[in-house]
Structures are given as structure tokens and as C-alpha cells.
Structure 1
Amino acid sequence: MEGYAAAALLVAVGILTFNLIFSRGDEHLTSIQIQELDRLFRQSLTAMGLQPPYPELRDICLVLMGSVIALITYYFTLGRRHRRRREEITHSLICAREKVRRLESELKAIEEMEEDDAKKGKPGRKIRIFMEGAFDLTHYGHVNAFRLGRSLGHELVVGVNSSSTITQCKGPPVMTDEERCTMVSSCRFVDEVISGIPYVMTEDYLLTLMEKYRIDYVVHGDDPVIVDGKDVYAHVKKMGKYKSIPRTEGVSTTDIVGRMLLCNSRTLARKPVSRFMTTSSILTQFRGGMEDPEKDAKIVYIDGDWDMFCARHVNILREAKALGDFLIVGVHNDDLVQKKSCQSGNLPIMDLHERVLSVMGCKYVSDVLLDAPWSIGRDMIKSLRLSVIVGGPRYIEHGQKEDEERYGVAKELKIFQGISSSTSWSPVHDIVKRIQENRQRFQEKIRGKHAKEVEYYKKRYGRV
């Protein structure tokens, strides 16, 4: 409709323009040649059986010349925009066809593998996918990668690089081996974890590992893995056992470390800035495996900030889940976290949606309450059918008064229960401290990583 309105406007402008031109050129319209042309034109209309009155030649000229101007103007304005839009649609169509081709190829490979297993007397064997990495400061981007990797088969096996080999290649990780393995094993999309994987795997090592753990495909992000000028997965690609997945845009460990470097009491108050686009579909995809509670289920509730979701959070949720059948986790909003943590620096590091996705990725979580209230009231307890309310991580160290504000009603109803792992304040403070103590090393690391990320997006989207 906008195009038609613009075209009509252009015609009107053309007519008015030529009207001005012809208002000064009446002598041309009264010349003998023009009068003779007008007479022939009227005779032609009469011969065609059309009855007068006939349009003036002047009016016909105005319409024709106005239309020409309108068409020329359209070509140089709207026409170019439509042409660009056609090019964008064509590019999207090419990408979609390539994706369909890749999926068809993967489906064919799976069907061939199933046929081969059937011939060998192994019908219904599950396809096992292998992924590996450092997974330091494990975040929802890693969880999404696990989700995508597992979607290419039936079971996902994840190898976690050892701290010693990570240190040799790029410096010591922030989290310990045990913390990183705990995070990966707690992910709802991971079926098995292998610890102590070297940061750079040799061909012999990877082939032995694939045989030992019955790995069908090795999966990695679509960014190349080059060590000493060689592709780490070149031999697997030659075998036809390699699959790639797109990286989760809008989040990276580099970005998160950068936020923590800005988190200190001297920095002006700010809200977390995320470039990740949280859609309803991504929330649905992360919900994989979550089901509604049974009618007589014992429902447990725990709340908190869950900022920089880490191994201590996992241990808290594991203990809470053991107290019932169904665990609901409440996540406080950014303003509330900032207000309650005002004496502890610029928190939260991650915004509400990022923290929600991190919690949803944990296999101990049955459901998530977004923008959870600070004080748990009777109406909320009744509405969610809560049987047990567990004390979550504190915002203030030794914050007994905070406990009374949050869980006073639950204590009155005698459904409150504390657990040892959640009596201390939020684990985010410990993680931020580790980053701050190695500020210079991480700043240099961020500069190098940022340059690589810019180069990746430049190649992927043709950015200049």
C-alpha cells in the first residue's frame, strides 16, 4: 500500500510540474501543427465510435509526461529498494537451500549407518556425538552448543580439557577441572563426560577415543580450529565423521570476562548489557525435558540471583531437588539484584534472560519462575503448590535479616528448610575476585579474542 501511495503522489507531482511548464508554453499548443494533430486525434476518436466531449490534447500530454516522470522517479527511489530486497531474499533462499542440503546429507548418513547396523545385527543402536573444549566459565552459549550437538544424534559425550594442557596453550583457566566437569555434567543435554582431555588432540588420540566411547561423529563450532597451521579435525573430516554447528551469537566468554573486569565498587551503577537475542523459541528449546508436575508431586522452591551460574549453584540445586519431586527455581530481576547487591559492586553480570537460560540448562531444574518476588507470600505458596521452600544464596554475607524478609512466611508455615551449600553469599563474588586478581592477563587475552571474533563475523556476514 505504501508503494501505491508513493506512486500516486509522484504522478501528482509530475502533473503539477508539467502544468507549470505548459502554463508558459501555450503558444506551442496553439501552433498550426498542434492544431492539425488535435483535429486528427478527434477524428480518430469519432471513427472509433466514441462520443464527445473529447479530452483536450493539453490534458493528455500532461498525463503522459507526468507518468514518465513518475516512472523515472520510481526507478531511482522505490525501485532500488525493491531490488535490494529481492537480493536479500535471494541470499536467504540460497542459505536455506544449503541448510536443507546439509540436513539431507546428515539424514542420509544416519540412514546408511542404521542400515549397516541392521546388517550387523545391531538394530536401533544410538548415534553418539562427541564434543570437547575447555568450557571455562561455562555459560548458556555452551549449553546451546550442547543442545545443537545432541540434536545431531541420540547421546552426547563431552570431553573437558585438563587445566594443565589449557595452561600450556593459552594460560590457566579461571575454574578448576572439578568445577568445569561439574558444570558440563549438570547440563540437561549432556549424557556423558570425559575429564582430562588434552587441549590439542593428536590423530591417534582422537581415533582411540572414538573407538573406546563408540563415537559416531565429532562436532564443533563453525569457526576453524587451527593449531600450528593445521586443522585439528582434518583427519576426522576425511573420514566423514565431522559435523559443524553455528556458534551462539551475542555471547562469548570474552564478553563475560570483560563485564567482570568492570565490576567493582568504584564503577558507576549500570545494568548488564547483553547482545544475545532471547526469543520465545530459544526458551522453548532450552526447556527440553521439562514436564509439568504430577498431581501429588512434592514441589520444592528456591530463589536467587543465579548470576554467573557455576558449580556451587549446581550443588545447591542438586541438594534442593533431593528434597522433593519437582524443583521450581525463582530468578530475581536485574533491578532487584542491583539494589540488594549495591555494596558488592556492579551486579548482576548477566541480565535476567541470560540468567534464566543458565538455570534452565541445569538438569536438576524442573521449572523456572522469571522475575521472582523478593518476599515469598502465602498467595504464591498456594498458587505454585509449594511443599518446601529452600533458602537460596544470600546477597549480603551473614545476612540473617535478609532471610527473615525473604522467608518469614515460609518459616511461619514450617515449610522452610535451609541447606548447607546455600548459607553463604552468592558465588558470583568469588568468580569476580578470581578475574580481578588477574586483571592484566585477562585484558591482554580479551584483546586477542576480540580480534578473532571480529574476523569471524566479518567472514560470516561479509562485514567491512
Structure 2
Amino acid sequence: MSDVTKQEKKQVRVWADGCFDLAHFGHANSLRQAKKAGDYLIVGVHSDEEVLQNKGPPVMTEDERYKVIRAIKWVDEVVTAAPYVTQLETLDEYNCDFCVHGNDITLDADGKDTYRLVKDAGRYREVQRTAGISTTDVVGRMLLMTKTHHLPMLHSATILKRLKIILLLPLSAVLLIFLLLCSTMRSPYTGISHFLPSTRKIVQFAEGKEPQPSDKIVYCPGSFDLFHVGHVDFLEQASKLGDYVIVGLHTDKEINRTENSNYPIMNLHERTLSVLANKYVSEVVIGAPYKVTQELLEHFNVDVVVRGKTSYNYAADSTDPYEIPKEMGIYHEVDSGNDMSTQKIVARIIANRIKFRERNQLKEAKELRNMKRMEEKRRQEELEEQGVDH
């Protein structure tokens, strides 16, 4: 293809939208696939008012949700306060060729498909939903908060321990947990499932770019659990200190030891994908040692080790995990200007558990009604076909 032909080729502009509440790697994967369908990706994020009216109270505020989506590396532009029901006028306003969404059901307050207008106009494309992750699942993990809440296989001793913990919770929390667990057998979209990691998924998320010899390497170790707006702001500040940002993710066991609570909420593989989706991150060290070692610094040619101004625990040998970079004079603390934390998000969930229970109940009820209508329609079409054949 000649240079002239390339220049004349029309840019394919893609629209995607959603609430993106508690944005996770499943959302990021949907946007990755949407960007792959064209050249320029515009993402519409619904306002708090729209989400409340059609779905229920969001966990994260609209400003927090806007910032997290802007930081996903496949997103070219974010439209704030996008309509909950996708409009053809919106696609035309932003010169988008079509809308992309995952192959799950999204319904408005009336139980109608939010993408019905663009589907009828032939301007809708569907991508594969990421199995094993949902906002409902994440909320359920935060309520359970057991040491093995993120592991798919449960032994009898673990189940007994989990039941003992549930019995100590308020009745409303127990009801929500029961609802979430029962959802596994009902709606395939609201129900809880488990993510199965693969090397292919990691390759899809990773850029695979090597640092240039002249690049200044920035290393940021941490847990980065339930990747949120505070992490986004921290990584943005860290990226200003160099050219190539490497995030070191600690193991689940190490985080469980140092946090003195039953964290992490997201396991190591899930946290890896969440961090890789961020536009400020160049590379991830999976299962990085809690103590920053000389070997690690030399292996990755690290020029500066960065962390936030929050407190941290000592290593297993009772020494400062940042002792070596401090002695080398390459340790640096940055102020993200954001006090959001995983613990604060958990607190929001616990404080509003009844509202979230009602939200999930409503969402599942709408999904089940829609699935029933679709099944009835399918059966009617089969009967009509049989009638024609006879």
C-alpha cells in the first residue's frame, strides 16, 4: 500500500460506553478489544445520576471513574456524562462509525437493552466478555474478606472457617453474601465466577517494548490491590521521574503478611492485568520481592525507586525493605495528592451494603426477565419455522 493510499484511508472511530464502576481488568479488556476494532477509541462514562437512576448507587464517584478510564492505555478520549442508553446522535456527534460492547446484557431502568438503538441501525459490534470477573464478584470478595477469598478451590476447613466469619457479620451483610452466592446459579452476568489466567492474556495486555539505553528506569513496588484512582495518580507522578516505569507486584502471601488483614482482594494474576492496562506503566515484575534487592536493581538497571508517602511494614527479616535504594541514594517518595486506598473502598462497600444488595437484586431480576423474554422469542421463532416447513 502506497503512502498516499495510507493517508487517504479513513480513520475508523469507535465508541464504547459504560459505568466502569470499580473498574477492573475485565473493563480494560473490553476497551482493548474495542480499540482493536478501529483506529481511535472514544469512551463514554455515565454520570452518577444516570447510574443511580438505571442501575443503583455507584461505589466510585463519576470524577473517580472518569480519571481511571482516561488512564487506560487503549483509550484515546473520554466523554463525561454519556447517556445511559446509547444514542445514534452521540455516535454522530463524535463521528464514530459504530459502538462496541461485551457480549453480556446491559439494561436500562425499564429493563430494555441499552444498545437497542445502535443495534437496530446496524452500528453495533460485540466483543468477548472477560469471564471470571465482575463488579458483583469484587463486592462479594470485599464482604467476605477471608484469607482465601480470591482462590477458586476451597477445602472443607476453609469453608468452615468462612462460615464462622459470616456468622459474625451483620444480618444485612449475610443476606447480601447469600444473594451473591446464589447468583452463581442464576444470571450468568451478575453471578460470581473465577478468573482463569493465561499467558496469552498477559501478552495481550503487555506492550512488550524494551527500554532504550538512554531511558531512565523507574521502579515502583507495591500491592496495587483493587487498582483505583489513587494508584493512577501515584503512577502519573512516578512517570514524571523517568522514561520507563516498572511496577513490582508482591505475591498474595507477602501482602497477606504485611497488611495485617485478609488482603489482597485481587490475586496476583488479576493485579498484573490491572496494572498493565495503565498507560503510565511500561513493564510489570510478577511476584517481586518485598525487599528491594541489589540483584533486582541491577537486573532491571533501575535508576530510581519510587513509592508514595504512606507508611509501610518491615520485611520478614525485620529490616527496612527500602534499605538498599536508600543507601544508594535512589529512593524517592512522591505525593500523589490522592488519599484513596483499597481500605477506603472496602469501607464504602460495608457502609452501603444494603444499597448494593438492592442494586444487585434489581440488576439480576432485570437480567432474568430479559433472558426469559429472549427464550420465549426464540421458541416462538422455532414454532413459526416449523409451521412454515409443514
Normalised TM-score (structure 1): 0.65
C-alpha distance in 1 between matches for 2:51 and 2:111: 18
Would the alpha carbon gap of residues 400 and 261 (structure 1) be closer, same or farther in structure 2, given more than 3 Å must change?
closer
1:223 counterpart = 2:104: yes
Give the structure 2 partner of residue 438 of structure 1. 352
1:409 counterpart = 2:324: yes
Give the structure 1 partner of residue 217 of structure 2. 299
Would the alpha carbon gap of residues 326 and 122 (structure 1) be closer, same or farther in structure 2, given more than 3 Å must change?
closer
C-alpha distance in 2 between matches for 1:406 and 1:177: 36
Give the structure 1 partner of residue 128 of structure 2. 246
Paired amino acid for 1:385: N
Would the alpha carbon gap of residues 369 and 180 (structure 1) be closer, same or farther in structure 2, given more than 3 Å must change?
same
Residue pairs, 1:245-284, within 5 angstroms: 245-263=127-145, 269-273=147-151, 275-284=194-203
Q: Is the contact made by 1:393 and 1:423 (CA closer than 8 Å) also made in structure 2? A: no
C-alpha distance in 2 between matches for 1:192 and 1:292: 26
Gaps of 5+ in 2: 153-193, 376-390
Give the structure 2 partner of residue 324 of structure 1. 242
C-alpha distance in 2 between matches for 1:277 and 1:158: 27
Percent identity, please.
Answer: 38
Count of aligned positions: 326
CA RMSD of aligned residues (A): 2.7
Instruction: Choose between structure 1 and 2 for higher RCO, CA contacts under 8 A separated by at least 6 residues.
Output: 2
Give the structure 2 partner of residue 207 of structure 1. 88
Which has the higher Rg, Structure 1 or Structure 2? 1
Q: Which of 236, 253, 260 lines up with 2:118 in the alignment? A: 236
CA deviation map 1:54-73 (0-9, x unaligned): xxxxxxxxxxxxxxxxxxxx
Give the structure 1 partner of residue 265 of structure 2. 349
Partner of 1:303: helix, strand, or coil? Answer: strand
Would the alpha carbon gap of residues 258 and 143 (structure 1) be closer, same or farther in structure 2, given more than 3 Å must change?
same
CA deviation map 1:47-100 (0-9, x unaligned): xxxxxxxxxxxxxxxxxxxxxxxxxxxxxxxxxxxxxxxxxxxxxxxxxxxxxx
Give the structure 2 partner of residue 285 of structure 1. 204
- Higher share in helix: 1
Shift of 1:456: 9.5
Paired amino acid for 1:237: K
Residue pairs, 1:100-139, within 5 angstroms: 123-139=8-24
Q: Is the contact made by 2:107 and 2:367 (CA closer than 8 Å) also made in structure 1? A: no
Give the structure 1 partner of residue 65 of structure 2. 180
Partner of 1:314: helix, strand, or coil? Answer: helix
Shift of 1:224: 3.6
Paired amino acid for 1:214: N
Shift of 1:273: 2.7
C-alpha distance in 2 between matches for 1:451 and 1:304: 39
Normalised TM-score (structure 2): 0.77
Paired amino acid for 1:207: L
Would the alpha carbon gap of residues 374 and 232 (structure 1) be closer, same or farther in structure 2, given more than 3 Å must change?
closer
C-alpha distance in 1 between matches for 2:222 and 2:202: 19
Q: Is the contact made by 1:258 and 1:446 (CA closer than 8 Å) also made in structure 2? A: no
Shift of 1:378: 1.3
Partner of 2:273: helix, strand, or coil? Answer: helix
Shift of 1:332: 0.5
Paired amino acid for 2:126: S
Would the alpha carbon gap of residues 210 and 149 (structure 1) be closer, same or farther in structure 2, given more than 3 Å must change?
same
Gaps of 5+ in 1: 1-117
Give the structure 1 partner of residue 161 of structure 2. none
Give the structure 2 partner of residue 91 of structure 1. none
Partner of 1:355: helix, strand, or coil? Answer: helix
C-alpha distance in 1 between matches for 2:337 and 2:371: 40
Partner of 1:148: helix, strand, or coil? Answer: helix
Would the alpha carbon gap of residues 226 and 457 (structure 1) be closer, same or farther in structure 2, given more than 3 Å must change?
closer
1:375 counterpart = 2:375: no
Q: Is the contact made by 1:391 and 1:407 (CA closer than 8 Å) also made in structure 2? A: no
C-alpha distance in 2 between matches for 1:313 and 1:361: 12
Give the structure 2 partner of residue 32 of structure 1. none
Q: Which of 336, 340, 343 lines up with 1:421 in the alignment? A: 336
Partner of 1:273: helix, strand, or coil? Answer: coil
Shift of 1:448: 4.7
Give the structure 2 partner of residue 108 of structure 1. none
Q: Is the contact made by 2:56 and 2:359 (CA closer than 8 Å) also made in structure 1? A: no
Partner of 1:179: helix, strand, or coil? Answer: helix
- Select between 317-326 and 290-299 the one with higher mean Cα deviation: 290-299
